[in-house]
Structure 1
Amino acid sequence: MLKKLSLISKSSYRRISYPLISLMVAASLCAGTASPTQALPWRQLIFQGIQMMSISNLSDRQEVELGKQINQQLFKSGDVKLYRDRAANEYITRIGQRLVAASPRSDIPYTFQVVEDDSINAFATMGGFVYIHTGLMKAADNEAELASVVSHEIAHITERHAVKQLRRTLLAQGLATAAGVDQNVAVQLGVELALRRPKSRQAEFEADRVGIETLGRAGYAQYGAITFMEKLLRKSSPPSFLSTHPATSARISQMKQMVNPEFAYNGDGLDERRYQVIVSRLVP
């Protein structure tokens, strides 16, 4: 009887200890092959899988959650400063939600925020986050021009351009594996892509097309997109808006072909005097 119990206890010991030993050996090998600055404690290596996320089939929910973390990091880093005027943010949000309702992807939550920055710029991150600089609000002559920029940024989200760009960059830099990518790495790269890396020419043309279509469906005069881009190109020094959204004569020419003549000047947002009164109060 005692001999039988001894055999059972040894068998149980092997079942428990062998997997644990294997796991510890694997962790030590990973730490041993990494450079000193990359080595991680074995406990952290064991639980690292919890933070891994797949980039090949990112769901809407995961994209929105990743966008939230990128948004938090943008403000936490100090690279982006939120404009605290409540009325200004509500104004942009009203325009944005009107456009979202007419967009091809209205089934995720969108967040519109005004950035306190006099430079003429706007950008978007994945998961429905759109940022409009106070300088761009001042540069627009009417609400149709402003709405055209918001619509363009929404189009980047509807077509998942940031997600595709993140995936390509992670793979090109060897930061993604079969298991996925560390979520913290994805967030940091998402911040970098949002602030300093322009999207491809193809992505910009696609955002122009989808943005102009959305602008018309939302009831805005589509030609606001053309007049705003032409005005920016005429400036003596190109604004920062063009550094992240490259605009060329060929691009504007294509935009003119995208405009539906029925909605070119037939729509809301062309009252310049009304717009100037609103903006002078919101971003003096």
Structure 2
Amino acid sequence: MRKTGTTLLLFIILATVALAQGPHRFQPGFNLFSKQQDVQLGQEAAAQVRKQMTVIHDPVLTNYVNQVGKRLASAPEARQSGFPFTFEVVADPSINAFALPGGPMFINTGLLKAVDSEAQLAGVMGHEMSHVILRHGTNQATKAKMIELPAVLAGQVAGGSMMGKLAQAGIGLGANSVLLKFSRSAESQADLTGSHIMAESGYNPMEMARFFEKLSAQGGGRTIQFMSDHPNPGNRERAIEQEAASLPHRNYGFQTGEFPRMKQAVAGIHEPPPRKAQQ
């Protein structure tokens, strides 16, 4: 009983502080890439991903992630970004998902197997979508290659492969690419913006916090990749809870109704062993 009272008191304190501060709003940082170049880069990189990973064409899984994804993409932050979001499932046991500049998103079967609810999946997808909206990948590439990029991007206007020209500047699509490895500040922004997208889509943003808390407690090999790609900015769960409390009251509980079918379908997928990470 005392524990319940303490938890309730903590939530009230967090809600009071959050309401006083209001929701956080972020804008994309300095970027030498145009939004059109983000889209071209993402499309070229997505074509590489499809060659390197096994895309799952199961209609139940494909339709499901697209239902959830399109629901999230209709939220104001996503819609106003103008990016053409796409959603695909790949056979990989790691609990992970990633989004490329301009909108292509890939969701691992390992993530679909790990989530306990549709809202938890929406939390991860909203987080990834926020990286695209805030243009974190090309912002980090800009900061990492400030000297080389102007000439590379100027040459790209004449046509040709964006990925090919970026490779000349040392920017690739490997596991340690600046396009996919984000700072703790970027992770924090994606957490909070993702919570807004969830709420606006009818999903309880507290489920994002619960899923991250579950991964932190679970540990183990399958979650190492997620935590490596998405470093904890510090007090992640509490920050999301506080942000959720600052948002306007909404009726959460939206569901596609297809979550049980998705879980049944993904349970039958046997993933290949994880591939050796590229640099």
TM-score when normalising by structure 1: 0.70
- Summarize deviations over 1:123-159 as a string: whole Å, max 9, x none: 1110111111000011000000000000000000110
SS at match of 1:192: coil
- How far apart are 1:282 and its partner, in Å? 3.9
Tell me, yes or no, if structure 1 residue 212 matches structure 2 residue 185: no
Q: Which deviates further from its counterpart, 247-256 or 110-119?
A: 247-256
Q: Aligned equivalents of 1:61 and 1:121: distance in 2?
A: 27
SS at match of 2:204: coil
Higher relative contact order (CA 8 A, sep 6+): 2
Q: Aligned equivalents of 1:71 and 1:194: distance in 2?
A: 16
SS at match of 2:165: helix
Tell me, yes or no, if structure 1 residue 132 matches structure 2 residue 107: yes
- Which is greater in Rg? 1
Gaps of 5+ in 1: 1-54
Q: Which amino acid aligns with 1:257?
A: Q
Change (3 A) 1:194 1:147: farther
Which aligned segments of 4 or more residues in structure 1 are displaced greater than 4 angstroms?
A: 193-197, 261-266
Task: Within 5 Å, give how 1:1-284 maps onto structure 2.
Answer: 57-76=32-51, 78=52, 80-106=53-79, 107-171=82-146, 175-178=148-151, 180=153, 183=162, 184-186=164-166, 189-192=171-174, 198-237=181-220, 239=223, 240-247=225-232, 250-260=235-245, 266-268=251-253, 275-284=259-268
Change (3 A) 1:141 1:93: same
Question: Is the CA contact 1:142–1:269 (under 8 Å) kept in the aligned structure 2?
Answer: no
- How far apart are 1:58 and its partner, in Å? 2.9
Q: Aligned equivalents of 1:97 and 1:192: distance in 2?
A: 28
- How far apart are 1:262 and its partner, in Å? 7.2
Gaps of 5+ in 2: 1-29, 157-161, 269-279
Question: Is the CA contact 2:205–2:240 (under 8 Å) kept in the aligned structure 1?
Answer: no
Change (3 A) 1:260 1:221: same
Change (3 A) 1:265 1:232: farther
TM-score when normalising by structure 2: 0.71
Q: Which amino acid aligns with 1:87?
A: V
Q: Aligned equivalents of 1:168 and 1:103: distance in 2?
A: 28
SS at match of 1:198: coil
Indicate the percent of aligned positions where both proteins have the same amino acid.
30
- How far apart are 1:119 and its partner, in Å? 1.1
Question: Is the CA contact 1:151–1:211 (under 8 Å) kept in the aligned structure 2?
Answer: yes
What residue in structure 1 maps to residue 27 of structure 2?
none
- How far apart are 1:278 and its partner, in Å? 3.0
Change (3 A) 1:102 1:225: same
Q: Aligned equivalents of 1:119 and 1:138: distance in 2?
A: 10
Q: Which amino acid aligns with 2:226?
A: F
Change (3 A) 1:224 1:175: same
- How far apart are 1:210 and its partner, in Å? 0.5
SS at match of 2:88: strand
Change (3 A) 1:57 1:262: closer
- How far apart are 1:255 and its partner, in Å? 1.3
- How far apart are 1:75 and its partner, in Å? 2.3
Q: Aligned equivalents of 1:179 and 1:112: distance in 2?
A: 29
Q: Which deviates further from its counterpart, 185-194 or 65-74?
A: 185-194
How many residues get paired? 225
Question: Is the CA contact 2:31–2:138 (under 8 Å) kept in the aligned structure 1?
Answer: no
CA RMSD in angstroms comes to 2.9
